[in-house]
Amino acid sequence: MRLNKYLAKSGVASRRESDRLIQEGTVTVNSQVTTDPAYQVQENDKITFDGKVLTLQEKTVVYMLNKPKNVITTARDTHGRKTVLDFIPSNRRLFPIGRLDKDTTGLILITDNGELANYLMHPKNRIPRYYKAEIEGKLNSKDIAKVKKGIFIGEGEFGRGEIVEQISRKTRSIIIICLRQGKKREVRRILYFLNKEVYSLHRSQYGTLKLGNLEPGQWRGLRDEEIKKLQNK
C-alpha cells in the first residue's frame, strides 16, 4: 500500500492532502522522515504522523453538518477562528470533505476516511452538489446556456453546472445550481463572471444526501447504508 493511501486509510487526511503532508516531512517510517508519497508500506513498518503512531481505521465514520456563516472549513485554524470540527464531539482524527467558504452555509461532510474523501472530491467521479443562491436580477437563457457549456472563471479555469430552477421576485432571484466538478468557490466565480451579485449561498445536497431539518450548527452521524451509497457500494 502506498504511503499516501496508508495515511488516508488511517484517518489523517484525503489522499491529496496526505501527499502534501508527506512531502512537508511530517511523516516518519520506522523513525526516518519519508517524503515520498509512493513509498510502499510494509507489514511491519511503524508509521507516525505528528508524533503519533498510525493504525488503519476499521470502521468509517461520516458526519453531516449544517455549516453556519462565518465558520471556517478546515481541520484547524491558526487565527483561532471557529471551524467545522468545533461542532463535532469526537476523539477521532476528523477532517472535512472539501470546503465551503466562510460566507457559504449548508451541508458539509466530515469524516476520518481519506479514501472516501478522495473519491467524493475527485472531478472524474462527478458527484453532484446542489446550491441555492440568492442573486441580483435574474439569469437569462444565454446565461443558463453559458453555465451548462462552461464559463471562464479566471485562473485558467472554466466553471460548469446546471441551473435546475430559478424563481424571480422583483429585483432578485433564487437559483438552484448543480455542480459536478468542485472547483474552489466555483458558484461564486461563475456568478461573478456573469456580473451577478450574490446575496447568499447555501449548499443543500451532496450526492444522495440532503440536509433535511438540520438547523445551522446542528449535525448528525450518517447511517451505514448512507455511507455505502456515498462509497458507491
Domain residue extents for the chain: 3-53, 62-123+209-230, 128-206
CA distance 231 to 208: 11
* Confidence band for 50, pLDDT divided at 50, 70 and 90: confident
Task: Look at the pTM and tell me if it is higher than 0.85.
Answer: no
The pLDDT assigned to 81 comes to 87
User: Is 101 in the active site?
Assistant: yes
Please give the mean pLDDT across all residues of the chain. Answer: 92
Identify the active-site residue in 36, 50, 86, 101: 101
Domain 3-53: top CATH class: alpha beta
Higher pLDDT, 113 or 147: 147
62-123+209-230 architecture in CATH?
A: 2-Layer Sandwich (3.30)
Question: Domain 128-206 maps to which CATH number in 3.30.70.330, 3.30.2350.10, 1.20.1060.10, 3.30.70.270?
Answer: 3.30.2350.10
Alpha carbons within 13 A on the beta-carbon side of 106: 20
Rg, C-alpha atoms of the chain:
19
Query: Is 105 a residue whose pLDDT tops 90?
Result: yes
CA distance 115 to 127: 15
With 0-12 / 13-18 / 19 or more C-beta atoms within 10 angstroms meaning exposed / middle / buried, residue 134 is: middle
Higher pLDDT, 56 or 145: 145
User: For the ranges 10-14, 82-86, 124-128, which has the lowest average pLDDT?
Assistant: 10-14
What is the average pLDDT across 110-119? Answer: 88
* Confidence band for 23, pLDDT divided at 50, 70 and 90: very high
